[in-house]
Amino acid sequence: MSAPPPANFEALADQARTLLAVLIAGGHEAVSPPIIQPAGVFLDVLGEALRGRTYVFSDLSGEELCLRPDLTVPTCRLYLERHPQAEEPAHYCYHGPAFRFQPAGADAAHPREFHQAGIEAFGGEDREDADARTLTLVLVALQQAGLPSWKLRMGDLGLFAALLEAAEMPERWRRRLRHQFWRPDAFRAELRRLTTSPARCGDHLPRALIEALDPDDPARAESLVAEALDKGGIEVIGVRSVAEITEGMLAIAADAKAKPLRPSTAALIEGYLEVKAYADQAPAKLRALLDRPQGRFAAAIDAFERRGALLKESGVDLSEVPFSGEFGRNVAYYSGFVFEVLALSLGAASPVAGGGRYDGLLRAVGAPRDVPAVGGAIHTERLLAVVGGKA
Amino acid sequence: MSALVFAVPSKGRLMDQTAEYLAGAGLKLRKVGHDRGYRGEIEDFAGVEVAFVSASEIVAELNRGHAHLGVTGEDLVRENIANAAERVTLLQPLGFGRADVVVAVPKCWLDVDEVADIAAAAVAFRREHGRPFRVATKYVNITRRFFSARGLTDYRIVESLGATEGTPAAGTADLIVDITTTGATLAANGLKVLEDGVILRSQANLVASKMAAWPPETKKTCGRLLARLNISATAV
């Protein structure tokens, strides 16, 4: 494994000052959350997958800690320490190191230790306005740091959530599709299964019991499940109760009796994921998916359009910014607007900046409810490599 | 000189079976020095230094390049080396030390039959108990990779170094990832293996290190040894 080359410390520090000055002038208070973070919070938010990319360790007291893999979650925690009720809006900016294990070995493009400069805006009720301001400020900071040109990409995960609401199907199917959304292959397989034969066909599932269960009579279902366990001589062990097992069995029974998802509904969902257009033309394409979009989906398209207009007012040209229904499918905590800034010389695998909306994250970290939140971060080593002419 | 370091299990059935396997090719291991020592040689076979170490330590020795060849379980290789394909070569499965690494849940979970069902159950479980499922295992990395490839994210690993099968009944974990040979221990503890829950069919392997220094002389010794064992040497 080759060690990353020594960073150009002074140039990085100069660049950091420039970036922070822009972010502070943009109305964000500079904060410096701890580098060492409790691992549990990250595990709750990102799951055990975190361990694959993060330096997780136990200290001598046995507490499980990690070196922060980014600054978003630490900044959320800092906000909640100051405002446990999350009742006040706040705008923070930061510059500092973050750490990631690189399974294929660390190199200059994928260092295990790097610096992020970024902003987070919490509690802004006007979401489109906060989204547009965030992206605009990140772009201004990049420009001030000397980045002459860039390529922007964007998506909106709120559109998908709203489309799913509009599609006719049982809520448990929506939950399954939402769950698989992050993995395109599994998502397609699930969609195909729901469209062809939603009934489960595992050999070990208790057929007779599934036949006997009536989804509309949960009270009787529990005694039927208890009876089946008893007859089979199966001891109930563990924390999960018979009531919980019954709930799962009822979902299986409901699927066994359910009509498959209509092909037109599956086509609608697939059609959405295939939408590719320049951002200023995307709303028209999205509206064309449904005869007459209503409710949340119509509102989500309107919001997308309004955000676009606000960005245009701030001088961000959307006519050549590609929008894709699929974009943003890789970070599980984003919930709405997502963006990436690419430098032409670095390629799509190494964006110089990225960010998005994550309205559910603060609650996962301990806030009493969902809190509107949007942020963006700049990968400073990459930025320096571009403006310093090394990439 | 540049001896070929050959790491073999230092105790238990795996040691006996390794000795039997080598004896089948007319190779006899012998300890050097006092009887409780950890160094040895192969009788009438020059250039090989035998190191007697525990099976898990063998993986570490191969990964660090301190041993050229070793006999160890594939489960230990997959668990303890992050990018195994770049650091070691599995030369040959040896037909002993068989064990499956499996996902097992309580038999009473009638609604959980496949790995995907765990995700559905986890949603209701979190609502009822305010926490994710706990998965007891000593195979932390294998478990994480397997679940992540199947999109299962809402769980926590509880490291367990013994009596893992007992943890669901004891309430310290909800399901487990563990090795099993016949499944009898799992059944005795009220557990069942999920239909698609076999993560790895493991057995003892002859493993070569890509991290060790391989001067021509060592390579030659290795070639001679592999020829005796009827293994194609091109892999090294």
DSSP A134-201: HHHHHHHHHHHTT----EEEEEEHHHHHHHHHHS-S-HHHHHHHHHHTTSHHHHHHHHHHHHH--S--
For residues A64 and A13, state if they share a domain.
yes
- CA separation for the pair B139, B154 (Å, rounded): 17
For residue A137, tell me if it sits in a domain: yes
Which of residues 270 through 299 in chain A touch B, CB cutoff 8 A?
A: none
At B193-224, the pLDDT tens digits run 999 999 999 999 999 999 999 999 999 999 99
pLDDT at A390: 57
Using CA atoms, how far apart are residues B82 and A226, in angstroms rounded to an integer? 44
- Chain B neighbors of A229, CB-CB under 8 A: 108, 110
Residue A221 domain flag: yes
Q: Judge whether A41 lies within some domain.
A: yes
pLDDT class for A361, splitting at 50, 70, 90?
very high
Please tell us whether the domain made up of B4-98+203-235 is placed in CATH 3.40.50.620: no
Nearest CA to A50 among A58, A41, A59?
A41
Percent of chain A with pLDDT strictly greater than 70: 96
A12 touches chain B (CB under 8 A): no
ipTM at complex level? 0.86
Per cent of chain B over pLDDT 70 is: 97
Average pLDDT over residues A330-342: 87
Compute the mean pLDDT over every residue in chain A, rounded to the nearest whole number: 90
Domain B99-202, CATH among 3.40.640.10, 3.40.50.920, 3.40.190.10, 1.10.3720.10: 3.40.190.10
Q: Quick check: is A266 in a domain?
A: no
In this predicted structure, the answer to whether residue B31 has a pLDDT above a threshold of 90 is: no
Note the pLDDT tens digit of each residue in A186-227.
Answer: 889 889 999 998 887 777 788 889 989 988 888 899 999 999
Are the Cβ atoms of A176 and B120 closer than 8 angstroms?
A: yes
Mean pLDDT of B121-131: 89
Out of A208, A229, A257, a domain closes at A257
Q: How many CB atoms lie within 10 A of CB B170?
A: 12
**Residue in B closest to A39 by C-alpha:** B156
Residue A362 and residue A371 in contact, taking contact as beta carbons nearer than 8 Å = yes
Mean predicted confidence (pLDDT) in B83-108: 95
A175 in reach of chain B (CB within 8 A) = yes
CATH classification at residue A41: 3.30.930.10
Residue A380 pLDDT more than 60?
yes
**Distances from the Cα of A24 to the Cα of A93, A95, A137, A152, angstroms:** 7, 11, 10, 23
Residue B215 CA from chain centroid, whole number: 28
Higher pLDDT, A47 or A357: A357
Report the Cα A246 to chain-centroid distance in Å.
32
Identify the three-state secondary structure at position A105.
coil
* Greatest alpha-carbon span in chain B: 67
Strand B29-31 relative to strand B88-93, pairing: unpaired
Phi and psi based region of residue B65 (left: phi greater than 0; alpha: psi -120 to 50; beta: remaining): left
Is the pLDDT assigned to residue B2 strictly greater than 90? no
Task: Among A257, A285, A308, give the residue marking a domain's end.
Answer: A257
What is the mean predicted confidence (pLDDT) over A7-20? 90
**Residue-level pLDDT at A186:** 82
How far apart CA B176 and CA B199 sit, in angstroms, is 12
Question: Is residue A142 located within the same domain as residue A97?
Answer: yes
- What residues does each domain of chain B span? 4-98+203-235, 99-202
> Does some domain include residue A277?
no
Q: Which of B86, B103, B105, B108 to mutate to test the interface with A (most CBs of A within 10 A)?
A: B108
Phi, psi of B91 (to 5 degrees): -80, -40
Residue pair B229/B39 in contact by the 8 Å Cβ criterion: no
Q: Is A251 helix (H, G, I), strand (E, B) or coil?
A: helix
Q: pLDDT grade, residue B234 (50/70/90)?
A: low
Q: How far apart are the first and last CA of chain A?
A: 21
Q: Are residues A127 and A196 in the same domain?
A: no
Highest mean pLDDT among A169-183, B96-110, B140-154: B96-110
Mean pLDDT confidence for A232-255:
93
pLDDT at A18 over 70: yes
Instruction: Answer yes or no: is pLDDT of A62 > 90.
Output: no
CB atoms within 10 A of CB B179: 19
**CB half-sphere exposure, A104, CA atoms < 13 A:** 4
Do B4-98+203-235 and B99-202 come out as alike in CATH topology? yes
- Find, in chain B, the residue whose alpha carbon is nearest to that of A187: B151
Q: Which of B82, B125, B144 comes nearest A49 by C-beta?
A: B144
pLDDT tens across A105-140, in order? 787 777 899 999 999 999 999 999 999 999 999 999
Distance CA(A233)–CA(A235), nearest Å, equals 6
Rounded CA-CA distance A71/A92 in Å is: 11
Q: Which residues contact residue A59 at a Cβ distance below 8 angstroms, ignoring those fewer than 6 apart?
A: A65
Residue that has been written with the tokens 């034969």 in this structure: A197
Does residue A325 carry a pLDDT above 90? no
The answer to whether the Cβ–Cβ distance between B171 and A239 falls below 8 Å is yes
pLDDT band at A5 (very low <50, low <70, confident <90, very high): low
Task: Choose the final residue of a domain: A235, A257, A279.
Answer: A257
**Mean pLDDT computed over A145-160:** 93
Asked whether B206 and B69 are in contact (CB, 8 A), the reply is yes
pLDDT value at B236 more than 70: no
CA distances from A125 to A306, A370, B19, B87 (A): 15, 12, 71, 52
Q: Which residue has the tokens 């002038």?
A: A25
Average pLDDT value for chain B? 92
Q: Tell me, what's the pLDDT at B1?
A: 59
Model pLDDT, residue B232 = 80
- In B, which residues are within 8 Å of A231 by CB distance? none
pTM confidence score? 0.82
What are the structure tokens assigned to A267, written together? 């086509």
- B154: nearest CA partner in chain A: A47
Is residue A245's pLDDT more than 90?
yes
CB contact under 8 A, B106 and A240: yes
Q: What percent of chain B has pLDDT over 90?
A: 79
CA–CA distances in Å: residue A265 to residues A54, A163, A169, A186, A202: 39, 10, 9, 18, 26
Residues A133 and A216 occupy one common structural domain: no
With CA atoms as reference, report the closest residue to A160 among A288, A261, A266, A297.
A297
Say yes or no for a CB contact (<8 Å) between A245 and B123: no
Query: CB under 8 Å, gap of 24 or more: what pairs does B52-56 form?
Result: B52/B7, B52/B8, B52/B9, B52/B10, B52/B15, B53/B7, B53/B8, B53/B9, B53/B10, B54/B9, B54/B10, B54/B11, B55/B9, B55/B14, B56/B80
Residue to test with chain A: of B111, B123, B155, most A Cβ within 10 A = B111
Helix (H) or strand (E) holding A259: none
Q: For residue A191, what are the domain limits?
A: 171-257
- Please report whether residue A202 resides in a domain: yes
Amino acid occupying residue A242:
V
- Chain B contact for A234 (CB, 8 A cutoff): yes
The answer on A175 and A93 residing in a single domain is: no
The two three-digit tokens of residue B118, written as one number: 């765990």
The answer as to whether A124 is a domain residue is yes
Q: Which whole-number Å values give the CA distances from B117 to A195, A200, A248, A356, B112, in the listed order? A: 19, 11, 9, 31, 5
Whether A13 and A102 share a structural domain: yes
If one counts the domains in chain A, the total is 2
Check CB contact of A41 with chain B, cutoff 8 Å.
no
On whether the CB atoms of residues A369 and A86 are closer than 8 A, the answer is yes
**Distance (Å) from the C-alpha of residue A118 to the closest C-alpha of chain B?**
27
B125–A49 CB contact, under 8 Å: no
Q: Distance (Å, rounded) from C-alpha B47 to C-alpha B218?
A: 8
- pLDDT over 80 at A341, yes or no: yes
d(CA A137, CA A129): 12
